[in-house]
């Protein structure tokens, strides 16, 4: 249910924070949130140094509607309303153009890519190599309740990059693990991500040398290899 005003929304955020709940701000998208709300939410996030997550450039129609209503593209609107910064995570950014990617790089914002969801919805592919070359931090998400598997998301991110560039190993295993751990923690405003315990006796890791486990996890394992987190 949408709140009656942005003030009511921020009051709810404050009440949760006062109750000891770790909070962040998530105005969903430029389609769901008026520009003046985005301005207030962006200012609040900066003032309190809170994570701000927002969907943008997920679908072509969204971009067309944003251009029609605001005269700019979604990530450009986020910049205009003060919603971009190191505390910001833009979810999807599937159809971001070069100028928008430059805005993300300059602001220090993160992109949360959700490859299996974007495939399921037929939304397209993140411009992975252009994002990587600009040094834009990436993290992964699911944006779906159909299947939750971080290894699959990381594997598909590399698969997208390979299809787009025509070469293998665009992201190294270490880079992908940063995307799935350190950079994900950063996007949530956490200092670190808790470690995981992997079942080295799992059939997917049978006879894999210890020094190759990280690469094997990304290349061929599912979430069922994790025994505790």
The 10s digit of each residue's pLDDT in 130-172 is 999 999 999 999 888 778 999 999 999 999 999 999 999 999 9
pLDDT for 1 beyond 70? no
Q: What is the pLDDT of residue 200?
A: 94
Percent of the chain with pLDDT over 70: 99
Average of pLDDT values for 65-72?
Answer: 98
Q: Is the pTM higher than 0.85? A: yes
* 102 is annotated as an active-site residue: no
Higher model confidence: residue 223 or residue 3?
223
* 199 is annotated as an active-site residue: no
Q: Are 199 and 228 in contact (CB under 8 A)?
A: no
pLDDT for 6 beyond 90? yes
Q: What is the pLDDT of residue 229?
A: 63
pLDDT for 21 beyond 90? yes
Write down the CATH superfamily of domain 24-193: Metal-dependent hydrolases (3.20.20.140)
Q: What is the pLDDT of residue 32?
A: 92
Q: Are 50 and 189 in contact (CB under 8 A)?
A: yes
Sorted by where each begins, the domain ranges of the chain are: 24-193, 196-229
Q: What is the pLDDT of residue 100?
A: 98
Which residue in the list 53, 55, 92, 95 is annotated as catalytic?
A: 92
Which residue in the list 143, 149, 199, 202 is annotated as catalytic?
A: 143
């Amino acid at each position: 249910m949408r709140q009656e005003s942005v003030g009511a929304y921020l009051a709810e955020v404050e009440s949760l924070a006062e109750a000891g709940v770790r909070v962040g701000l998530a105005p969903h998208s430029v389609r769901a949130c008026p520009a003046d709300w985005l301005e207030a939410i962006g200012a609040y996030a900066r003032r309190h140094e809170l994570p701000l997550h927002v969907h943008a450039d997920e679908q072509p129609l969204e971009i067309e509607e944003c251009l029609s209503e605001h005269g700019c593209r979604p990530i450009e609107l986020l910049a205009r309303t003060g919603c971009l910064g190191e505390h910001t995570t833009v979810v999807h950014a599937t159809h971001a153009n070069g100028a928008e990617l430059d805005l993300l790089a300059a602001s220090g914002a993160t992109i949360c890519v959700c490859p299996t969801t974007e495939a399921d919805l037929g939304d397209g592919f993140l411009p992975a190599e252009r994002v990587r070359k600009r040094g834009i931090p990436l993290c992964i998400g699911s944006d779906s309740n159909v299947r939750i598997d971080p290894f699959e998301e990381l594997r598909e991110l590399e698969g997208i990059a390979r299809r787009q560039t025509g070469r293998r190993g665009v992201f190294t295993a270490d880079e992908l693990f940063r995307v799935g751990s350190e950079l994900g923690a950063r996007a949530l405003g956490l200092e670190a991500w808790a470690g995981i315990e992997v079942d080295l006796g799992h059939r997917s890791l049978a006879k894999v040398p210890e020094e190759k486990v990280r690469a094997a996890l990304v290349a061929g394992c599912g979430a069922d290899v994790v025994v505790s987190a």
